[in-house]
Amino acid sequence: MANQYFVFKKMPEIDTTFTIENREAIHHIFTVMRTNTGDELRLVFDEGKVGRAVVVDAVNHIVKLVDTNVVSTELPIEVTIAVGFPKADKLEWITEKATELGAHAIFSAPFQWSVAKWDSKKRIKKQEKLEKIALGAAEQSRRQIIPEVQLFEHLSVLTEKFSDFDSVLVAYEASAKAGERSAFVQQLSQLKKKERLLLIFGPEGGISPEEIENFENAGAKTIGLGPRIMRAETAPLYALSAVSAYFDLFKMK
């Protein structure tokens, strides 16, 4: 099976010969993977278009597009996950696995009870690292897009983005403890193809009552994720798995 790479250019016509120009793609394809003339590649072009190409000249990075693939590997709805700044390298783990599970974007912001505190310099550096992780995970899992990664300086920036989504859901520990188990599925059942869903998860310390009130005032709804209380790095992946199972396996796209 051919390896997949993002080449960041418009898809040409079939049988067109062209040069791969993106430096990161060149390094990964021809240096890291040691791709040779005659090898086959799966390339992702702008707008998530996918094609099958054969290497014509490995030295000069020239390939020929021989076929296109219109089968979508993306979820039928656009799911963005937002998490409170977690400790250590948990956000790296979340980014990699959320990408594999189909997240359209990954947001993170400082919550009131976040233990991690990142200044501007560290936040920028971490975002750059996460973008590279998302790229690698998107290639490995044969995604047609690379999830957008954004780290916000203030939680209010996240709240201001609620209007960009068709539905905003907050996984709230109190809802789970109270035995609430139906709201998540009810909300998913109301979403239509191409609509946008924002799922919010707290950090290790959870979400404060004041934050919940602010979220609800901005239009969000609280949901439970079953009877078990999950860690900050587990809950987003559980929710994405549930979304994937619901739309990919049980509901017609």
Q: For 161-194, what is each residue's pLDDT tens digit?
A: 999 999 999 998 775 555 566 889 899 999 999 9
User: Given this model, what pLDDT does residue 165 score?
Assistant: 98
Mean pLDDT of 82-89: 94
Q: What is the mean pLDDT of the chain?
A: 93
Which of the four pLDDT bands, split at 50, 70 and 90, describes residue 250?
Answer: confident
Same domain for 93 and 186, yes or no, is yes
Mean pLDDT of 14-37: 96
In the 3-class helix/strand/coil scheme, how is the chain assigned residue by residue?
A: CCCEEECCCCCCCCCCEEECCCHHHHHHHHHHCCCCCCCEEEEECHHHCEEEEEEEECCCCEEEEEEEECCCCCCCCEEEEEEECCCCCHHHHHHHHHHHCCCCEEEEECCCCCCCCCCHHHHHHHHHHHHHHHHHHHHHCCCCCCCEEEECCCHHHHHHCHHHCCEEEEECHHHHHCCCCCHHHHHHHHCCCCCEEEEEECCCCCCCHHHHHHHHHCCCEEECCCCCCCCCCCHHHHHHHHHHHHHHHHCCC
Same domain for 116 and 236, yes or no, is yes
Residue 215 has pLDDT above 90, yes or no: yes
Which of the four pLDDT bands, split at 50, 70 and 90, describes residue 100?
Answer: very high
Identify the domain boundary among 12, 36, 69: 69
Identify the domain boundary among 69, 98, 121: 69
Same domain for 114 and 19, yes or no, is no
Could you report the per-residue pLDDT of 107-165, keeping only the tens digit for each?
999 999 998 888 899 999 999 999 999 999 999 999 999 999 999 999 999 999 999 99
User: Given this model, what pLDDT does residue 20 score?
Assistant: 97
Residue 82 has pLDDT above 60, yes or no: yes
Same domain for 17 and 105, yes or no, is no
Identify the domain boundary among 69, 91, 122: 69
User: Given this model, what pLDDT does residue 251 score?
Assistant: 66
Mean pLDDT of 206-230: 93
Same domain for 139 and 40, yes or no, is no
Same domain for 88 and 123, yes or no, is yes
180 or 1: which leads in pLDDT: 1
Same domain for 88 and 170, yes or no, is yes
Number of domains in the chain: 2
What is the pTM assigned to this prediction? 0.91
Same domain for 26 and 117, yes or no, is no
Same domain for 86 and 195, yes or no, is yes
Portion of the chain with pLDDT greater than 90, in percent: 83
User: Given this model, what pLDDT does residue 253 score?
Assistant: 46
Residue 220 has pLDDT above 70, yes or no: yes
Q: Give the CATH number of the domain where residue 130 resides.
A: 3.40.1280.10
User: Given this model, what pLDDT does residue 69 score?
Assistant: 74
Same domain for 195 and 84, yes or no, is yes
User: Given this model, what pLDDT does residue 176 score?
Assistant: 54
Q: Give the CATH number of the domain where residue 35 resides.
A: 2.40.240.20
Mean pLDDT of 14-22: 96
Same domain for 117 and 137, yes or no, is yes
Range of the domain at 51: 4-69
Same domain for 50 and 92, yes or no, is no
